[in-house]
Amino acid sequence: MKKILISVILSSHSLSAQYTDFNIVKEVKVKNKGVVVSAHPLASEAGAKVLKMGGNTYDAIVATQYALAVVYPQAGNIGGGGFLVGVKNNGEKFTLDYREIAPKRASRDMYLDKKGKANTDLSQNGRLAVGVPGSVAGFFATLKYCKLSMDQLIQPAIDLAEKGFAITEQEANLLNSNKEYFQKHNQSYIVFVKNVPWKSGDILVQKELAETLKLIQKQGLKGFYEGKTAESLVSEMKKGNGIITLEDLKNYKVAERKALEFDYKGNNVVSMPLPSSGGILLAQMLKMAAYENLEKYQQNSTKAVQIMVEAERRAYADRAEYMGDPAFIDDKTSYLISDDYLKNRWKSFSFTKATLSSEVGKIIKQPKESTETTHISVIDKEGNAAAVTTTLNGLYGSKVVVSGAGFFLNNEMDDFSVKPGVPNMFGAVGGEANSIQPNKRMLSSMTPTIVLKNGKPYMVVGTPGGTTIPTSVYQSIVDVIDFKLNTNISINSPKFHHQWLPEAVAFEKNFPETTIKDLEKLGYRTEKWDQIGRTEMILIDDNGNIHAVADGRGDDSVAVE
C-alpha cells in the first residue's frame, strides 16, 4: 500500500489531529469492508466514517460529496450538479440526475453579441455563466436509499469547514494560480484569497460555508433553495449580470432516470443516460471497438489505439449532432447504440489510414481544453455500489463565491452549445440538440459507471476531465475486460483522447512514443497533454476481494470502513 504522509505544523486554530495529519492512500485490497475512493483523503474519510456508523454506500456518497464541497473547492460542490449511478445489492439499478438547469430567463442567444458573435467569456466566467445548482437537491434525493439522517451525513463537512483543514501542495498551487480570477469576480473578501501565497499545510477555515451547511442541516432542502442561502445567491447574481431568481431555485427538481444498460462481452454495463452523453458514448465506443476484436491487441499498442480512436471519432461526431436534454429533443439513444447503426458507422474504418473527421460529421472549428469535475466510487460490505460524478464545470466554476454563504457557483452554462459550431471550454461543439432554452439541462460528459458480472458489481468507475471523461472510462473498462490488466495499471497507465474535433489525438506526456510515431505515419495528427483524467476505480472479483485504487495523478485517496 503506497502511503504519502502529509505532516503539517499545527496552527493557532483549535484542530483535531485528523484534519492536519492525514494519509493519501492510493491502493487498498480488502474483503467484507466498505471502501470509498475520491479526490481527497479527508472526503474519502468522511465517507468511511459514516460507513463505520452503520451507513451504507449511499450514506457514504452523500457524506463524501458534502466533504468534497469543503476540502476540494475546485470541483467538489454544493453550487454545482452531478449524476449518481447506483446498483443495490438486490439488483435494483437507479440513477439520479441533479444536473444544473438553465435559469428561466436564459435564452438561446444570450451569449451572442449584436453581430451574432459568441462571447464565451460570459458563458465561462462570472455570474451569467451560472446554472441553477442541483447538488443539494441530489443529496436529498439520495436519502431515500440511505440508512442515516441528513443531520449525520452533513456533520463531517461542517466540522471540516468550521475547524479547517491542512491544504496540500496541489491545492496551494491551484489557489495561488487562481487568485487573480477570484479577485476579478468577487467584490467582497473571500477566504480563498490571502495576501501571501498559500503553501502546503496552511489551514483553510470556511466559517460562512459551515453556516450554510448548518442551515441545510436544520432546514433541509429549504436551507439551500429558500431563505437565507437562496437570498444570498440571488443577491450575488444582482452584483453582476446573473439571472438566477428565487423562483428558479425553489423550482429546481432532481430527475430519477432509468440507467443506460448494455452488454459488453458478457458483462452488464450500467451508466448514465442523457442529459449526459457519457453512457451513450461509452456504449458506442465499446461496441464499435468490439467489431475489431480489441482483446487480440495490447494496451496502448498502435492497432489498439487506432481502433479506439476511430471509435471515439465516430461517437463524438454523434454527440455534437444528436445529444441534449431528453425533455427537449427527439431522444435517439436506442438507435445510436444499436448494432444496426454502429456496424454501418464502422464500415469506413481502415487499418491503413486515419479517417478524416469530415467524413463522419460536419466540421466546424478548433477547440481548447480543460479538465475539471470530480468522481467518487463506493461499495459497502453488503454489496451496494454507487458511482457519482459531480462538477462546477471549470476549476472553481464561475470563480464567483456566494457572499455570506461561502460556496463557489458553477459555470455550467458553458456546457450548452452557446452557438452551433462554437467550441466550449472542452473544445466540444454542438448543435440545436444542445442549444440553450429556459429550464433545460446542458449536455454533460460525466460517465459514472458500474459494470456488473453475473449480476453483481464488478467495476465501479469514473473520472473528471470534461470531454475526456467518456474516453478515460472507456479505456479503464477495456484495460480490465479486454487486456486483463489490474486496477492499478489500468488507472495509472498513460491515456489518450480523441473527440472528433479537433482532428488531433491527445496523448498523455508519458505515452509510448513508438505508438505515436506509428500513428503519425498513418496520417494521425497528434498532440501531447500533461494529464488526462483522475480515475477512481473499485474492482470486486468473483471471491468478493475488493481492489480499490485512487488515481496517482492527484491527491486522490482510498478510505476503508
Q: Which residues are designated catalytic?
A: 373
Q: How far is the CB of 240 from ligand GLY (least distance, A)?
A: 21
Give the residue, chosen from 212, 357, 391, 417, that forms a contact with ligand GLY under the rule CB under 6 A: 391
Q: How far is the CB of 85 from ligand GLY (least distance, A)?
A: 14
136 vs 166, which CB is nearer to ligand GLY? 136
- Gyration radius (Cα) of the chain, Å: 22
Phi-psi bin for 308: left (phi > 0), alpha (psi -120 to 50), beta? alpha
Give the residue, chosen from 373, 417, 449, 487, that forms a contact with ligand GLY under the rule CB under 6 A: 373
Known binding-site residues for L-glutamate equal: 99, 391-393, 415, 444-445, 466
393's CB contacts (< 8 A; 6+ apart) are 80, 372, 373, 410, 411, 412, 414, 415, 425
Under the binding rule (CB under 6 A), the answer on residue 125 touching ligand GLY is no
Give the residue, chosen from 354, 446, 491, 501, that forms a contact with ligand GLY under the rule CB under 6 A: 446
Q: How far is the CB of 70 from ligand GLY (least distance, A)?
A: 20
Distances (CA, A) of 537 to 142, 252, 465: 21, 31, 15
Q: How far is the CB of 374 from ligand GLY (least distance, A)?
A: 11
The span from the CA of 447 to the CA of 375, in Å, is: 9
Stretch of 34-42, 313-321, 440-448, 512-520 contacting ligand GLY, by CB under 6 A: 440-448
The span from the CA of 275 to the CA of 283, in Å, is: 15
With CA atoms as reference, report the closest residue to 270 among 406, 460, 466: 460
Binding to ligand GLY in span 83-122, by CB under 6 A: none
Cell 483543514 belongs to 165
97 vs 159, which CB is nearer to ligand GLY? 97
Stretch of 165-173, 318-326, 442-450, 490-498 contacting ligand GLY, by CB under 6 A: 442-450
Distances (CA, A) of 323 to 273, 274, 317, 335, 345: 10, 7, 10, 12, 17
Under the binding rule (CB under 6 A), the answer on residue 449 touching ligand GLY is no
Under the binding rule (CB under 6 A), the answer on residue 444 touching ligand GLY is yes
Under the binding rule (CB under 6 A), the answer on residue 354 touching ligand GLY is no
324 vs 466, which CB is nearer to ligand GLY? 466
C-beta nearest to ligand GLY: residue: 444
86 vs 466, which CB is nearer to ligand GLY? 466
**Cell numbers representing residue 116 in the block:** 451574432
Binding to ligand GLY in span 399-428, by CB under 6 A: 415
**Cell numbers representing residue 202 in the block:** 496552511
212 vs 391, which CB is nearer to ligand GLY? 391
Under the binding rule (CB under 6 A), the answer on residue 393 touching ligand GLY is yes
Q: How far is the CB of 434 from ligand GLY (least distance, A)?
A: 11
The span from the CA of 498 to the CA of 479, in Å, is: 17
Please report which helix (H) or strand (E) contains residue 27, including its range: strand 27-31
Under the binding rule (CB under 6 A), the answer on residue 284 touching ligand GLY is no
Q: Angle at Cα 290 formed by Cα 289 and Cα 291, nearest 5°?
A: 90
Counting every residue, how long is the chain?
A: 561
Distances (CA, A) of 250 to 107, 141, 193, 245, 420: 20, 15, 31, 9, 31
Under the binding rule (CB under 6 A), the answer on residue 466 touching ligand GLY is yes
Binding site for ligand GLY (CB under 6 A): 373, 391, 393, 415, 444-446, 466
